[in-house]
Amino acid sequence: MAKGSIIMEINADALKNFQDSKFNFVDADGNDVDFDNLDESVKYTLRDGETVVEDDMHAKDVVDTINNEYGKNMVRQ
C-alpha cells in the first residue's frame, strides 16, 4: 500500500445524499474531490458554497462526515 493511502468506503446512499446537498468538499487547490481517490496526505475542506464550514480535514474525516451525516435516513417521519 502506498504511503498516505488508506482503505475507506463511502456508503453509496450517503454519497448520493451528500452530492444532492448544498455542501461540497474541495482539496487545497479548490478542486472538487474525487471520492474514489481520497488520499490521507491531502487536506480537504468542507464548504457551503464559497463559505468554509470545516478546513484541514483528512480523508478519513471526509468519509466519516459523509457516512455519519448523510448515511442516516434523510426522510423524517
Q: What percent of the chain has pLDDT over 70?
A: 83
Query: How does pLDDT run across 31-68, given as a tens digit for each residue?
Result: 999 999 999 999 999 999 999 999 999 999 999 999 99
Q: Which residues pair with 24 in a beta bridge?
A: 47
Q: Closest Cα to residue 21, out of 61, 64, 55, 65?
A: 65
Distance CA 68, CA 28 (A): 23
What pTM value is reported for the model?
0.81
pLDDT at position 42? 95
Q: What is the pLDDT of residue 72?
A: 73
- The region of weakest confidence among 8-12, 16-20, 30-34 is 8-12
**What is the number of other CB atoms lying within 10 angstroms of the CB of residue 49?**
9
**Number of C-beta neighbours around residue 29 at 10 A:** 6
70 vs 25: CA distance, rounded Å: 14
